[in-house]
């Protein structure tokens, strides 16, 4: 998390100009936040709010911001190392359900919640 706007946290390390070049709008960002179930942060703040987000957000909120970044950047693959360890199991399952059914990205997950998440993976070691 960096000092800057809430929008900056989602699009990091891109700038707002990069975001516009990618034809991504604030509505897209709001949808990413809805998917990872932290849209309430925009209701509490705004995309333009400037904070030291490291101090403002909880551990689970920080993890979900990282997942919103994944949705924004659309990588071909991602390594998710305990990326949902600080969120509830129902939120975690909802996020993985979306990632496995709607995102064209190969995921390598490291987790201690194997039983809850194995249904979203092709291989479990």
Contacts within 8 Å (CB) and 24+ apart, 111-118 = 111/80, 111/82, 111/84, 111/85, 112/82, 112/85, 113/84, 113/85, 113/89, 116/89, 116/92, 117/92, 117/93
Are 28 and 71 in contact by the 8 Å Cβ rule? The answer is no
Architecture of domain 3-120: 3-Layer(aba) Sandwich (3.40)
- Give domain limits for the chain: 3-120
- Pairwise CA distance, residues 18 & 24, whole Å: 9
Model pLDDT, residue 70: 96
How confident is the model over 55-114, as pLDDT tens digits? 999 999 999 999 999 999 999 999 989 888 899 989 988 998 898 888 888 888 887 766
Q: Which residue has the higher pLDDT, 7 or 3?
A: 7
Whether the predicted model's global pTM rises above the 0.85 cut:
yes
């Amino acid at each position: 998390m960096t000092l800057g706007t809430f929008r900056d946290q989602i699009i990091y390390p891109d700038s707002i100009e990069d975001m516009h070049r990618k034809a991504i709008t604030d509505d897209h960002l709001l949808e990413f936040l809805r998917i990872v179930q932290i849209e309430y942060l925009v209701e509490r703040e705004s995309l333009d709010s400037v904070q030291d987000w490291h101090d403002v957000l909880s551990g689970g909120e920080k993890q979900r911001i990282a997942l919103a970044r994944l949705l924004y950047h659309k990588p071909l693959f991602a390594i998710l190392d305990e990326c949902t360890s600080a969120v509830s199991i129902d939120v975690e399952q909802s996020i993985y359900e979306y990632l496995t059914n709607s995102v064209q990205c190969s995921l390598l997950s490291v987790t201690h919640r194997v039983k809850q998440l194995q249904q979203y993976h092709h291989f479990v070691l």
